[in-house]
Structure 1
Amino acid sequence: MKRVRKAVIPAAGLGTRFLPATKAQPKEMLPLIDRPIIQYIVEEIVSSGIKDILIITSHGKRAIEDHFDRCLELEYYLEKRAKWDWLEEIRRIATMANIYYVRQQEPLGLGHAVLCAQNFVGEDPFAVVLGDDVVVSDPPCLAQMLELYEEVQAPVVAVERVALSEVSKYGIIDGEEIRSRVFAVRDLVEKPQPDRAPSRWGVAGRYVLTPRIFGILRETPPGAGGEIQLTDALRVLAKEDKLFAYAFTGRRYDAGDKLGYLKATVELALEREDLGPAFREYLRTVVEKL
């Protein structure tokens, strides 16, 4: 039995929902308090026991590479001023994982981005974690999925129950709950209208896949938006083989959406020991003024 030892983070999108802030800055580098969004993703992967990570980037994403690289000038500056805590954190970021990069040269969709990882993945199972979906959970969301994968030895997607009014924003599964939180998936529908949604279980930005997905993706024609959709390839997989969905425990934030980003910033700040008490008092004064 092969264990999952590699992860892929698709981070090649243009970030149009955050323009003009993302005109010259990757959306994955937008800060949630004092860490960029993508650092939360990498830390979840590492906490789940995976050290080899491929980030799919595109033109204008160099800041991601710089963030996970060493910066000797900054380290020297912090060392000279005895800023030991900051120095330790800066060095930790650069050494916590083995991070590799490949560019998706055209914006051809999530399915195409995953296909760009084939040489990195080889014949091994691997995880895919979207670069703007932040999940706060213990154990980490990906670790929960890996535990199920090791049991069923078949691809697993993370799902969460979404409001009926929100189903058109997600890939929605059609499946049977075979035990608590575990579904055998029969089919998936990409962004259905509410009256056509087969369920309210939406795919939530995390996947554990096998190399078979690459052959399917190569045969997948462009779908919604004229892009190669990973959901379309997963539909084939569900019908020809086995595909499971797991309703993870934890809180998910769509940090690629303005409202989701604001919710993540506020709730993560409230949980911080150094910020929470003062920030909570500030929010009380704001509410009183409404």
Structure 2
Amino acid sequence: MTRPITKAIFPVAGLGTRFLPATKSVPKEIMTLVDRPLIQYAIDEARAAGIEEFIFVTSRGKSALEDYFDHSHQLQTDLAAKGKTELLDILKSTNMDSGQIAYLRQHKALGLGHAVWCARRLIHDEPFAVILPDDVIAAEKPCLQQMVEAYQETGGSMVATMEVPREKASAYGVLDVANDMGAVVEAKGMVEKPPFGTEPSNLAVIGRYILHPNVLTSLDTQETGAGGEIQLTDAIAKEIGTDRGVYGYRFNGQRFDCGSKAGFLQATVSFGLARDELKDELREYLTEVLAVDKAAQ
């Protein structure tokens, strides 16, 4: 019987340099996708998967992220007095109960593996999830919830995967597949950012993980990998060949790389078109823009 996944780590210590100058004063995770910050999408996905404890690995300059999850008593009072119950409900949904959320500092940018390792004392010996807020996934059933359901059958460690063009595989961690069972694949190897032409498959790892606590033990060595950083992929790969194993999960949904400007814009359009109150006006505008662009060509 697999142990339930109730804890999730959110590595949010990055500087967000690709979004300068905006991120000079605003953490990237607070940047708004339609009307919610990126981090809220990650939190909502975690809650849907049964996560009860939320661990944020932060760095200097992230105080706005911590403030976001605090209770805004004055604003709640004002909304209640004005009878704006719908907005009040939305506001309350962003609150986190006392003791439900923890913040840890990553003092040096040593890689994703190091960021996850920083939370080791709050994980202890439990399996846990890792969510990268840059990867926003639009799905009818949230991605992590899909993975938790699959994990209950497989145990071990599990990573979310998607197929990418071979020429782009070198930008990802990539699975070497031992057994393809459809939605779930069993891995016989994992490599972080393989040089072009050496990738074992086009099945890339994206920012959702369910990990056995032994992964944290492997990270104790602080070994560096690709890019001179402590890679989470390398620690997960050490679980391959154990009786626990490592699995990839082909999730149902569309992933947006909101760590890039193009991906953020694509997500904004897609999520806007999915909103009943916005889709008609937005679709009309996009049609007009495309028509003007086509005429100019």
What range describes the TM-score normalised by the shorter chain of this pair?
over 0.9
* 2:229 is the counterpart of 1:253: no
Aligned equivalent of 2:274: 271
The one of 204, 213, 216 equivalent to 1:214 is 216
1:207 shift after superposition: 0.5
1:210-235 CA-to-partner distances (Å, cap 9, x unmatched) read 11011101124122222111011122
Q: 1:42 to 1:31 in 2, by over 3 A?
A: same
Contact 1:17 1:258 in 2 (8 A): yes
Aligned equivalent of 1:176: 178
Aligned equivalent of 1:19: 20
Deviates more, 1:120-129 or 1:172-181: 172-181
1:156 shift after superposition: 0.5
Aligned equivalent of 1:114: 116
1:59-106 CA-to-partner distances (Å, cap 9, x unmatched) read 111111111110112212222322221111111210479222111111
Instruction: Report the residue type matching 1:263 in the other structure.
Output: Q
Question: 2 CA distance for matches of 1:222 and 1:278?
Answer: 50
Unpaired segments of 5 or more residues in structure 2?
A: none
* 3-state SS in 2 of match to 1:94: coil
Contact 1:220 1:233 in 2 (8 A): no
What TM-score do you get using the length of structure 1 for normalisation?
0.96
Question: 1 CA distance for matches of 2:280 and 2:101?
Answer: 36
Aligned equivalent of 2:130: 128
1:24-73 CA-to-partner distances (Å, cap 9, x unmatched) read 11111110011000100000010112121111111111111111110112
Aligned 1:1-290 pairs, distance under 5 A: 1=1, 2-95=3-96, 98-241=100-243, 242-290=245-293
Question: 1 CA distance for matches of 2:92 and 2:4?
Answer: 28
* Sequence identity percentage: 43
1:169-188 CA-to-partner distances (Å, cap 9, x unmatched) read 11011113331121111111
1:136-155 CA-to-partner distances (Å, cap 9, x unmatched) read 11221111111121111110
Unpaired segments of 5 or more residues in structure 1?
A: none
Q: 1:29 to 1:228 in 2, by over 3 A?
A: same
CA RMSD of aligned residues (A): 1.5
1:165 shift after superposition: 2.4
Question: 2 CA distance for matches of 1:253 and 1:74?
Answer: 32
Contact 2:157 2:236 in 1 (8 A): no
1:200 shift after superposition: 0.4
1:89-125 CA-to-partner distances (Å, cap 9, x unmatched) read 1112104792221111111110011111111111111
* 3-state SS in 2 of match to 1:43: helix
Instruction: Report the residue type matching 2:118 in the other structure.
Output: C
1:13 shift after superposition: 0.8
Deviates more, 1:264-273 or 1:16-25: 16-25
